């Protein structure tokens, strides 16, 4: 038992994360006399980048570069500005990148678990590949992410300590760490996609499995590279996701059938997703994960409602068993152009929907709840604002993904 505990402590050690970052060419500049506190002000550089000043620069201390770079950031990699947390305003610390290829590769890898990817990937699957697979994939994504976020709040482990870890990303730094929900989605989405399409579409199974594995490994390793998770967080996320899939995938037919054909499905869908959101907001104090959870639940509710409406109206019918397996059409310039045009036009509709609903919902909810709307960041730290805002906005977006946009395509 003691050996197992020792192994867990080793996998959770932030120095293990720091060594991986060092191996990949990430160098962090920390203050020798400032206790490792990170920068809180910035100064523009001639090349348009932003150089962050550490506590050592302000207080007369000496800046120390963790790695082989020189203090002050004079290396070929330069100083990389960080993406601030849009709600907390966390700015992060300066860091140096000596291997740009790995930096961009892992940045791409972590984007495979962010909103900008999902708002294009899921619609692409639904509009250009297979709506049946797309709506079920979103069901898996919703449950995996919801359980992951709630588990984070119950366990309450903090992110890896900095220093020694370099926080290459700050956007999710206010959330808890265990398990990694990026690792969970990076496992559940590609392997669910593989399992749902295997036998339904004609393609080499070995190719599908290898692509799913590469996707999973890229997302998981990116979270360690960016300093967001320990190795233990990532491993736990992968195993937790596998456990959820073992129970949830066999129930997909039953759940999907209920959403499509039951007369009470709209009421159950709305109340269930809203109730889950209310429950998640009671688990811990406010953080950005509260809004993320409501956003995921709203999207899932919107897509499920659209599935029910489509079924009632006879729109987007599923393929019959005699039409399977499906074959991919021959790749041509016309096919690619049509797919790109559908994606661009559809995403524009979704972006417009989100912007319109956001502009309307936040002031409306603030007025109803009696909360000042002058400072949107502070207003959204209230559950009474953040939950209905995210739920309504992304519920509408999810509904339009599977109902409005395909309906518009059918009339073009």
User: What is the arithmetic mean of pLDDT over 218-229?
Assistant: 88
List 52, 53, 229, 273, catalytic entry: 229
How far, in Å, CA of 78 to CA of 311, rounded? 55
Is the pLDDT at 287 greater than 80? The verdict is no
What pLDDT, on a 0 to 100 scale, did the predictor assign at position 283?
Answer: 61
What pLDDT, on a 0 to 100 scale, did the predictor assign at position 40?
Answer: 38
- DSSP string for residues in 301-324: HHHHHHHHHHHHHT-SPPPPGGGP
Helix (H, G, I), strand (E, B) or coil at 123: helix
What pLDDT, on a 0 to 100 scale, did the predictor assign at position 57?
Answer: 39
User: What is the arithmetic mean of pLDDT over 241-248?
Assistant: 94
- Phi and psi angles of residue 63, each rounded to the nearest 5 degrees, phi first: -85, 130
Percent of the chain's residues with pLDDT above 90: 35
Give, to the nearest 10 degrees, the angle between helix 383-399 and helix 265-281.
140
Is the pLDDT at 119 greater than 90? The verdict is no
Q: What is the DSSP letter of 66?
A: E
Helix (H, G, I), strand (E, B) or coil at 263: coil
- Whether 229 is catalytic is yes
How far, in Å, CA of 216 to CA of 220, rounded? 6
Is the pLDDT at 87 greater than 60? The verdict is no
Q: What is the DSSP letter of 79?
A: B
Is the pLDDT at 216 greater than 90? The verdict is yes
Binned at pLDDT 50, 70 and 90, residue 84 comes out as low
User: What is the arithmetic mean of pLDDT over 187-213?
Assistant: 92
List 53, 182, 273, 308, catalytic entry: 182
Closest CA to 349 of 405, 406, 391, 403: 405
What pLDDT, on a 0 to 100 scale, did the predictor assign at position 164?
Answer: 82
Q: Do strands 326-327 and 201-202 pair parallel, antiparallel, or not at all (unpaired)?
A: parallel
CA angle 114, 119, 125 (to 5 degrees): 115
What pLDDT, on a 0 to 100 scale, did the predictor assign at position 212?
Answer: 94
Asked if 159 and 177 touch (Cβ cutoff 8 Å), the reply is: yes
Binned at pLDDT 50, 70 and 90, residue 206 comes out as very high
Binned at pLDDT 50, 70 and 90, residue 51 comes out as very low
Sign of CA dihedral 390, 395, 396, 400: positive
Segments in 370-412 forming alpha helices (H) = 376-379, 383-399, 405-410
What pLDDT, on a 0 to 100 scale, did the predictor assign at position 89?
Answer: 59
Give, to the nearest 10 degrees, the angle between helix 205-225 and helix 181-197.
170
Structure tokens at 355: 């912007």
Q: How many CB atoms lie within 10 A of CB 24?
A: 18
Percent of the chain's residues with pLDDT above 70: 80
Is the pLDDT at 133 greater than 90? The verdict is yes
End-to-end Cα spacing for the chain: 65
What pLDDT, on a 0 to 100 scale, did the predictor assign at position 74?
Answer: 42
How far, in Å, CA of 295 to CA of 25, rounded? 35
Closest CA to 299 of 79, 82, 134, 100: 134
User: What is the arithmetic mean of pLDDT over 164-172?
Assistant: 76
How far, in Å, CA of 28 to CA of 97, rounded? 9
Closest CA to 122 of 97, 140, 106, 110: 140
- Phi and psi angles of residue 64, each rounded to the nearest 5 degrees, phi first: -115, 130
- For the chain, what's the residue count? 412
Distances (CA, A) of 248 to 199, 213, 325: 19, 20, 24
What pLDDT, on a 0 to 100 scale, did the predictor assign at position 235?
Answer: 93
pLDDT digits (tens, 9 = 90+) for 316-359: 888 888 888 888 888 889 899 999 999 999 999 999 999 999 88
- Whether 382 is catalytic is no
Alpha-carbon torsion, ordered 277, 281, 282, 288, to 10 deg? 150
Mean pLDDT of the chain: 80
Sign of CA dihedral 334, 340, 345, 349: positive
What pLDDT, on a 0 to 100 scale, did the predictor assign at position 242?
Answer: 95
User: What is the arithmetic mean of pLDDT over 30-52?
Assistant: 41
How far, in Å, CA of 34 to CA of 327, rounded? 62
List the single range of 9-13, 83-87, 225-229 with lowest mean pLDDT. 83-87
Helix (H, G, I), strand (E, B) or coil at 41: strand
Alpha-carbon torsion, ordered 51, 55, 60, 63, to 10 deg? -60
List the single range of 83-92, 105-114, 301-310, 402-411 with lowest mean pLDDT. 83-92
pLDDT digits (tens, 9 = 90+) for 353-410: 999 998 888 888 888 888 876 766 777 767 777 788 888 899 999 999 999 999 988 8
Predicted structure pTM score: 0.81
Binned at pLDDT 50, 70 and 90, residue 63 comes out as very low
What pLDDT, on a 0 to 100 scale, did the predictor assign at position 289?
Answer: 67
Tokens 């395909």 correspond to 406
């Amino acid at each position: 038992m003691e050996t197992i505990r020792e192994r867990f402590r080793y996998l959770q050690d932030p120095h293990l994360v720091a060594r991986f970052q060092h191996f990949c060419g990430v160098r962090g500049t920390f203050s020798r006399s400032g206790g490792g506190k990170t920068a809180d002000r910035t100064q523009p550089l001639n090349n348009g980048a932003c150089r962050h000043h550490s506590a050592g620069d302000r207080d007369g201390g000496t800046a120390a570069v963790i790695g082989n770079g020189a203090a002050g950031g004079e290396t070929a990699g330069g100083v990389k500005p960080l993406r601030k947390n849009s709600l907390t305003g966390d700015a992060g610390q300066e860091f140096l990148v000596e291997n740009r290829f790995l930096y961009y590769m892992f940045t791409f890898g972590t984007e495979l678990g962010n909103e900008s990817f999902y708002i294009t990937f899921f619609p692409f699957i639904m509009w250009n590949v297979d709506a049946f697979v797309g709506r079920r994939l979103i069901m898996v994504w919703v449950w995996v992410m919801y359980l992951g976020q709630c588990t984070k709040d119950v366990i309450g482990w903090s992110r890896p300590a900095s220093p020694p870890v370099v926080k290459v990303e700050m956007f999710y730094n206010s959330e808890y760490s265990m398990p990694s929900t990026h690792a969970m989605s990076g496992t559940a989405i590609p392997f669910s996609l593989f399992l749902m399409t295997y036998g339904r579409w004609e393609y080499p199974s070995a190719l599908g499995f290898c692509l799913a594995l590469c996707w999973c490994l890229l997302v998981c390793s990116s979270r360690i590279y960016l300093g967001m998770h320990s190795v233990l967080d990532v491993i736990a996320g992968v195993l937790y996701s596998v456990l959820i899939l073992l129970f949830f995938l066999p129930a997909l037919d039953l759940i999907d059938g209920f959403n499509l054909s039951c007369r009470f499905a709209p009421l159950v869908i709305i109340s269930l997703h809203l109730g889950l959101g209310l429950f998640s907001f009671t688990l811990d104090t406010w953080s950005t994960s509260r809004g993320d959870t409501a956003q995921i639940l709203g999207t899932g509710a919107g897509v499920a409602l659209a599935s029910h409406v489509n079924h009632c109206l006879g729109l987007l019918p599923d393929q019959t068993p005699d039409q399977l397996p499906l074959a991919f059409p021959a790749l041509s310039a016309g096919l690619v152009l049509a797919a790109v045009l559908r994606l661009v036009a559809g995403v524009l509709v979704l972006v417009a929907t989100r912007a319109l609903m956001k502009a309307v919902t936040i002031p409306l909810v603030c007025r109803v709840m009696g909360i000042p709307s002058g400072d949107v960041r502070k207003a959204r730290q209230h559950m009474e604002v953040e939950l209905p805002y995210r739920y309504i906005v992304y519920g509408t977006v999810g509904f339009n993904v599977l109902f409005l946009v395909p309906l518009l395509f059918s009339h073009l």
